[in-house]
Every structure is written in C-alpha cells, then in structure tokens.
Chains A and B, each alone.
Chain A
Amino acid sequence: MTIEKTALAPGQEAPGEQATTPGTAPRSRLRDNRSAYSLLAPNLLLIGLFLLVPLVWSLLMAFQAKRSFGLGEWSGLTNLSRLLSDDVFWRALLNTAIFTVATVPLSVGLGLALALLMDKALPGRGVFRTIVYLPIAVSSLVVSLVGLLLFDESIGILNGVLRDLGVGPVAWQSNGALAMLSVVVMTLWTRVGFGMLVYLAALQDVDSEVLEAATMDGAGGLDRIRHVVVPWLRPTTFFLVVINMIWSFQVFDVVYVMTNGGPGYSTTMLVTYAYDEGFGPSRNFGYGATVGLVLLVITLAITAVQLRVNRRQEA
C-alpha cells in the first residue's frame, strides 16, 4: 500500500501525506529487495571494483613473471620459490615480527596503565588525557619527520641532550638495533593514546557495584585492579591486541620515512619490501604482489584466531 517515492519535487513530499488504511503494515518483500539493493549498490560497486578485483588479480600476479604494466607471463611457482629462498624476504618477515612483538604489548600495557591512572578524578585530568590523545590526530608523516628530528645522529634533539649530559653520540641511524628502536618508540607515541582512549571508554562501563563489593571484601587497590578490573576488561584487551597486531604487520609510513628499511636491511618490513619490489627500480609487480599476499595471509590468520576466540567467549 505504500508508495515508492524517489524523485519528488521539493516541497511536494511530507510524511503522512499518503493516507493508508490502518492495520495494513505492508512489508512487501519485493520492494525491500529493490530498495535494499539500490542502497547497497554504490558501496558494493566500490568494494567490488577497488578491493575484490585487485584481490583476485593479486592471486593471479603471484603466478606471473610480470614487470610494471607488461603482460604477465605465467611462471608457475617461480615467485613462490624465489620467496622461500629470498634472504631479504625472511629478514623482512623477522623484522616485522620483532616490530610487532615490541610494539603490541607496550601499546596495550601502557594504554591500560595510563587509563587506570587517569580514570579517577584528578586536577587537570582533562588536559592530561588530551595530551596523550593528541598524537592520534597527527599524521604518520609528521610523526616520522619529528622522529627523524629527534633521532638524527649528527644534529638531532636526543643526541644533543645526551651530549650536554656528556654521553654520546648514540648511533640511532647507523646501528640496526637502535634504528629499529627509534621506529618502535615513534610508533608507541601514537599507539599508547589509542589504547588509553579505548580502555577509558570501557572503564566507563565497569560496574561500580562490583568494585564496591570488592572493597567491602577488603580488596586493596592493586588487588582490586588485578582481580576485578583486569578480568572485566578482557574483551577490550583482546580487541586492542588484535588491532595493534594487524597495524604492526602493516607498518609502512614510519619505516619508509625514518629509516627507509636501513641501515642495510635491519628495518626492512613486509610492506616496505613489497613496495620496493613493486614500485622501486625493478618494478617487479609479480614478486611484489607475492610479498603482499604474505601480509594478507598473516592478517587473515590473526582475524581467524580472533573470530574463534570471540565465538568461544559467546558460547
């Protein structure tokens, strides 16, 4: 009984104009199909074109010898066998794992610590919170360039401070481990605030009665945090661990700008390696796409674990 209105002249349309007989709640299946798919169409078109097509194409490219826009020649498992014997690839995978292991626990742990610290009333609490949040809104490029300014070996801020203290100069750029550390530090600067923000939102929901009950039982502050608050926050922690892992495996910007994968290959990551192979001088699209697929597989694996755990929790 309802009338499909699409393009109506302005002013012509007002809800309640159409009188319908009460009691007929028409939910015509057919019409819902049509309007649902017209609402979904733009989105599905964009997803299909710019994500699903490249996804399938990636799988094809991985089995092709293909440089730049050239015709891909089928090359069977050549890319894969090169990958397995490619020292730089294994180094990139190891570096990405090290970067992940260094960034994820610290981002989540420090985020929790700061959230607990700033949860309760405190003079200037709003200002403190805002300062920790700020880096979330700073672009990764600005973060990376500020990172360079801080860690520059010859004229950087940190070595300047250390020099005044009579220490120095620390080889932030020429020592692989220290270069990795500099990238990790700048990453933490943006991630800790995100962790704190998400935890603070979750703490809003911690049942104050549960806390009071724990206090009545004589649980001290730290005990209460350990036995009441932390278990309560488990889903939040899990979410943060997963999202931080995915971000860490995808790291590109900060490494590309601060170290460009160097010195040597000591900070080369999966995505920077894929980028160098695909868009660097060799423009090896086939091999770059193969490296990209490794990132895809890892991301899917992390997500699969997440889904399984979530399902178990809901069961």
Chain B
Amino acid sequence: MSRPVRFLVCLVVSAVFVLPLFAMVVVAFTPRELVFDGGASLWPSSFTTSNFTNLFASFPVWRWFSNAMIVATLTTALSVAVNLAAGFALAKLQFAGRTFVLVVVLSTLMVPAQAVMIPQFELVARMGLIGLFWAVILPSASTALGVFLARQFFVSVPDELLDAARLDGCGTVATLRYVVLPMAKPLIAVMVLLAFMTQWNDFLWPLITLRDPDLYTLPVALRFLQGQFDADYGGLMAMALLSCVPLLVVFVALQRFFVDGFSRSGIR
C-alpha cells in the first residue's frame, strides 16, 4: 500500500474507533428533551451542562469517586506488595517445594473467578466482610498475572548482583530494599498501572459484594444509575464520561508503560 492510501485507511479506522467515545461526550452535553424527542444525535441543535448538575444534585457522585479511589489504591498497594515478594522468591531463592509452589501459583491463572464466584461470595459473607471494602480488596489482591510479571522480571536480574549484596552482609530483606527494589522501578510502574486499572474497572465482584449504594465503586454505580435513569442517556453518559476520563488521561500519559505491561503479560 502506498503511504497516502495507508494514511486514509488509518483515518477511517480511527474515526470508527473514536465514534463511541465521541457519541458519549456529545450526549452527555445534550439536553434531555432533545434525546427523548428525536432520539440521540451526534449533531444536537443545542448543548447544556444540566445533565452534570442534575447528576451531582441527585446522587452521591463524589462519594462514589472516593470509594473507587480507596478501593483501587488499597488493592493496588496490597497487590503489588504481595505479588512482588512472591515473584522475587520464585525467581531468585532456592527453597524446598519451589516447583510445587510455582505450579500452584501459575495454575491459579487458569481458574476464572467467575467460575467460583458463588462459594467465593459465601466465604466472604461468612467472614463478615460484606458491607466492607475488604470484601472487594482482599480477594482481588493476589493475581497470578502479577506474580508472573514480577518473576519474569527478576529472572533476568543477574545472580552476581544478589550474591555481591549477600557478601556485603545484606540479609534477604536488605537485599530486596537496597539492591532489588531500586532496579525494579519500571516493573513496579507496570504492576501499579495494571492493578489499578483492573480494580477501577472491575464490575462483577463488586456488584456481588457491595450491596449498599454508599459503598459503590464506579462501575456498580453506573449499573445502579442505569436503573435510575432508564432511557435518560444524558445523565447516564455524563456519569460514564466522568468515570472514564481520569483513567484515559493516565493511560495516554503513561502509554509506554501500559504497552510494555500488556505486551509482556504472557508472551515469551
């Protein structure tokens, strides 16, 4: 294909891909009556911010945002800590039962949470976690993908470095702190981004465990609003737009890390 042709094809493809997002933005600023009367349009005759003001007036939007932040931040912190530690041990330490542990951890990669969601829910309920954020955070923290990424990274760290640290008298903890972690910054960045994004967008498990509207994270709040707004797409799109803008900004700004993380997440 010649370059001008490729450029045109890319233009068309991008237009198709951006259309749903464009529709969301336009409808979020379209007056309700217009959507109800003539249907949603990509070129409405007038714009308004009333969808947003109504949304904030009727629903605890700020609360949902802070819930989302709390849940995603705590999950990410816990997740990165436990997965990093496990990945390091599996990559660099000799210990009894290593192969067995590795097989167990990586085989959990094959168990879809949806397949065991019912006993998982009963377990969390019997632990008394329903109605607390911990019901969402704890089961989501250990991810086989996180352990896998960490292990892949640490396998490529030369043993000599760790041996040198040991010779200098560092115990495992000190080696981790002064030698390994400073090197692992790019890995940590990728793990943080993936964990945060996954939790920010997760729907099924929070839907099952968060029964109180005051505890909703954004996806569950959106589902709740779907019932409240029904066909009032203006209000619905206003909330949808608010809920995905922060992550989109982060995504575009840190695209390189995301690309790195996704492309390393299972190849080779």
A146 touches B23 (CB 8 A): yes
A-B contact count (CB 8 A): 346
Residue of A nearest to B248 (CB): A137
Count of interface residues, chain A, beta-carbon cutoff 8 Å: 117
> What sequence of 0s and 1s flags, for each residue 117-154 of chain B, a beta carbon within 8 Å of any chain A beta carbon?
11111111110000000000011011000010000000
B110 CB within 8 Å of chain A:
yes
Number of interface residues of B (CB under 8 A): 107
Interface residues in A154-208 by Cβ distance below 8 A to B read: 154-157, 159-161, 163, 186, 189, 192-194, 197-198, 200-202
Q: Is residue A239 within 8 Å, beta carbon to beta carbon, of the partner chain?
A: yes
* Chain B 227-268 near chain A by CB (<8 Å), digits 1 or 0: 000010100110010011001101110010011001110111
Contact partner of B114 among A36, A57, A274, CB < 8 A?
A274
Write out the residue numbers on chain A whose beta carbons fall within 8 Å of the beta carbon of B23.
146, 149-150, 157
- Shortest CB-to-CB span from B22 to chain A, Å, is 10
Specify the main secondary structure of chain B where it touches its partner. helix
Q: Does B210 contact A (CB under 8 A)?
A: no
In the bound complex, how far is the Cα of B124 from the Cα of A51, in angstroms? 11
A33 to B147, CA, bound (A): 19
Residue from B110, B168, B174, B203 within 8 A of A139 (CB atoms): B203
A252 within 8 Å of B (CB atoms): yes
| Chain B residues within 8 Å of A138, by CB | 21, 201, 244, 247-248
The interface of chain B, by Cβ under 8 A from chain A, is 1, 3, 6-7, 9-11, 13-14, 17-18, 20-21, 23-24, 27, 35-36, 38-42, 81-83, 85-86, 88-90, 93-96, 98, 101, 104-105, 108, 110-126, 138-139, 141-142, 147, 163, 165-174, 178-179, 197, 200-201, 203-204, 208, 218-219, 222-223, 226, 231, 233, 236-237, 240, 243-244, 247-248, 250-252, 255, 258-259, 262-264, 266-268
Instruction: Rank and list the top 5 A-B pairs by shortest CB-CB distance, nearest first.
Output: A18-B169, A201-B263, A139-B201, A57-B119, A36-B95
